[in-house]
Structure 1
Amino acid sequence: MAPLHIDVRRGAVADLGRILADGRISAGGDVAVVVGPGQGEKIAELIKPNLGSADVYTAAGGTLDSAVELAGKLRSRSYDAVVGIGGGKTIDTAKYAATRWGMPMVSVATSLANDGIASPVASLVNDGIKGSYGVHIPIAVIVDLDFVEDGPERHNRAGVGDVISNISALADWELAREVRGEPVDGLAASLARVGAEAVLTMPGGMQDDPFVTVLAEALISSGLAMAVCGSSRPCSGGCHEIMHAVDSLLPGTASHGELAGLGALFCTFLRGDERRFVQMAECLARHELPRTHLDLGISDDHFVDAVEFAPRTRPDRYTILEHLALEPAQIRRKMGEYVDAVADH
């Protein structure tokens, strides 16, 4: 299933009532709007003029408990759809709650930190551990560039790292096909690749609407790739194994997208793909994203531990990390060579 409606532009939140009507999602605006604690009041005021029949719920924390609590509230009356407006935590909470009752969900992103805005996955914290939960893909995906512009730039730039990590994830998928005969879904791979290639080489930055639009569309394409494939395989390989390992061993170190981009660059180095390595290193530098563990204040010892632990975060995946099966001493040597190679670019 793919979203019935995709809209990336300025003023989308204020125009939400018309967008939902035109998309035949809700003619009368009888929707449950889920907002986060940060911009909730501002959003509620914006949508009130043309979405007067909506009920507004505030969800905080991005936890499984908060998603279950929200799901309970959604049973108060019949809604045409659940509309999640905000960043990743708010959207994932709304996705999970809507899926629990089989309700259509509209994703309205106000930041571009990762590809969760359109994916069939909700990342939620349960008992202090972040887990991934399968959910229905949003029926519509909307990105409001006004809110993106007003948000923390570092938060939005992280989306670049998540998108270009697709290139490394796809290389891992091809490796799994060659070594283990794992089937590769061509459509899913194409959707994951096209956005990553566009972001990798496109000039401009977060101050430029054309670049931000391409980034938003690339994140949406990644979500579609996962929906087509039925798993996160097109967008998650060794890069995300490293990201999950750092999250587990050193929680709060950096954002999803920052770690995914760094992990992708390291895996590309391990793969020996110099052309891709240079492209990715230059792209991350251009968008002021971390390229080595040292950029994030992670010590050599902790990074070695994370890379060694990474394959255990996704036991079913076969990536360059499983293929090389490096011992700690080998990881340390490769890490030193990697830091030197990044310094040259």
Structure 2
Amino acid sequence: MEDRRDFPEVFVYGPPGDEQGAAEDLALKLVELGITEPLVVQSTFGEALGARIRTSLPHVVPVPQANQEWAASLGSRTRRLRADAIVAIGGGRCLDIAKLAAARAGVTVVAVPTQLSHDGICSPVAVVPAQGACGESIGAIAPRVVYLSIPTLLGSPLEAVRAGVGDLLANPLALKDWALAAERGLESIDRRAWSLSVESFRSIEGYLSADIAESARDPRFLMQLAEGLVLSGMAMVCAGNSRPASGGEHEISHAIDHLFGGRALHGAQVAFGCLISTELYA
């Protein structure tokens, strides 16, 4: 029987319902989970969802230049305040900062994404810049819980949805790279992680020929995209590394970040990298 003890618990709110209902439901879920004094880390887009959370601790908004040092400082503050969890409500940067801070503080993370732009939602990896540098992938802590508010996600930018799809496009190519490395004795394949990666891509495969602008306003598609991104993160948790979801196409995206400071959302750059990787395999 499959052991999922290391995988996060996923809760989904809506449809139907609105963001106010999601905020109330999130607050209730935290209490049911025994989280009574969380430190809330939120972006400006996460204010509504975090408004009903019961805690005596402050709500923290990451500064625009938040980096690894800032995350470490937040982790130290979390420990001093004796918070029993960090609840991260926002986009990818907010979630990554929170995962890194939680690793420093030794507490659990509840991830509440306000957009579905990449598969780092429940992965144990955080992409956070070092001092004066570009984003760097470093080990952090995987969330214990993922909470998805469909009413919130329906209002997310189209560019974020495109990026989320772009990140999942990488998985079949990442598996090819993984297999290639295994053939040369450089890696070993984790079959469960492999299967989860395949499953994550299949979650959105049927929508690839559809108009993404229409799909982005379809709750059923957002559920499938969310499932795919969560499964992709679980694949990385299972493997203990990013191999199931990150190959040469991600290296191309990191090179763009390094050389040009980034030109688009991570998932959009990964999709561009997929074009190059596909041509190399052809």
Please state which band the TM-score falls in when normalised by the shorter chain.
0.7 to 0.9
| 2:127 is the counterpart of 1:123 | yes
**Cα distance 1:143–1:251, how it changes in 2: closer, same or farther (>3 A)?**
same
Paired residue for 1:180? 185
Q: Does 1:58 align with 2:61?
A: yes
Secondary structure, counterpart of 1:117 in structure 2? coil
Alignment of structure 1 residues 79-94 onto 2, 5 Å: 79-94=83-98
Q: Take 1:33 and 1:3, find their aligned partners in 2: how far apart are those partners?
A: 22
2:144 is aligned, of 139, 144, 148, to 139
Size of the aligned set, in residue pairs, is: 265
Contact 2:46 2:114 in 1 (8 A): no
What is the Cα deviation at residue 209 of structure 1?
0.6
1:40 Cα shift?
Answer: 4.8
C-alpha distance in 2 between matches for 1:40 and 1:186 = 36
Query: What residue number does 1:240 align with?
Result: 250
State the distance in 1 between where 2:239 and 2:280 align: 26
Amino acid at match of 2:265: S
For residues 200 and 119 of structure 2, what CA distance do their matches in structure 1 show? Answer: 11
The verdict on how the C-alpha distance between 1:52 and 1:98 changes in structure 2, with shifts beyond 3 A counting, is: closer
Q: Who is 1:267 aligned against?
A: 277
Deviations 1:231-284 (A, max 9, x none): 101111111111111111111311110011121232122212xxxxxxxxxxxx
Q: Which residue of 1 aligns with 2:71?
A: 67
Deviation at 1:4, TM superposition (A): 4.3
Tell me, yes or no, if structure 1 residue 42 matches structure 2 residue 48.
Answer: yes
Query: Does the C-alpha gap of structure 1 residues 249 and 271 become closer, same or farther in structure 2, counting only changes over 3 Å?
Result: same
Show the counterpart of 2:39. 32
Q: Which runs of 5+ in 1 are unaligned?
A: 273-345
Give the match's secondary structure for 1:225: helix
Amino acid at match of 2:280: L
Q: Distance in 1 between matches of 2:79 and 2:182?
A: 45
Highest CA radius of gyration, 1 or 2? 1
Distance in 2 (alpha carbons) for counterparts of 1:141 and 1:54:
21
> Residue 160 and residue 25 in structure 1: after superposition, are their counterparts in 2 closer, same or farther (change >3 A)?
farther
CA contact (8 A) 2:86 2:98 kept: yes
The SS at the match of 1:151 is coil
SS class of match (1:233)? coil
Does structure 1 retain, via aligned residues, the 8 Å contact 2:7–2:237?
Answer: no
User: Structure 1 residue 8: deviation in Å?
Assistant: 2.8
The match for 2:30 is: 20
Partner secondary structure for residue 244 of structure 2: helix
Query: Which one scores higher on RCO, CA 8 angstroms, separation ≥ 6?
Result: 2
- After TM superposition, list the pairs within 5 Å mapping 1:166-315 onto structure 2: 166-180=171-185, 182-202=187-207, 205-272=215-282
Q: What SS class does the counterpart of residue 71 from structure 2 fall into?
A: helix
* SS of residue paired to 1:168: helix
Q: Which amino acid aligns with 2:82?
A: S
Equivalent-residue separation in structure 2 for 1:43 and 1:73 (angstroms)? 23
RMSD: 1.8
Whether the 8 Å contact between 1:239 and 1:261 is mirrored in structure 2 is yes
Please report how far the alpha carbon of residue 109 of structure 1 lies from its aligned counterpart in structure 2 after TM superposition. Answer: 0.6
Cα deviation for residue 198 of structure 1 reads 2.2
Is the 8 Å Cα contact of residues 59 and 70 (structure 1) preserved in structure 2? no
Q: Secondary structure at the match of 2:29?
A: helix
1:179 to 1:53, Cα distance in 2 relative to 1, 3 A? same
CA distance in 1, matches of 2:46, 2:201: 31
Structure 2 counterparts to residues 156-171 of structure 1, below 5 A: 156-171=161-176
Instruction: Output the CA distance in 1 between the equivalents of 2:75 and 2:206.
Output: 41
- Could you tell me which runs of 5 or more consecutive residues in structure 2 were left unpaired when the two chains were aligned: none
Structure with the largest fraction of helix:
1
Q: Percent identity?
A: 35
Residues 8-52 of structure 1: CA distance to partner in whole angstroms, max 9, x if unpaired? 333433311221233x242xx32111112x22543443x25xx25
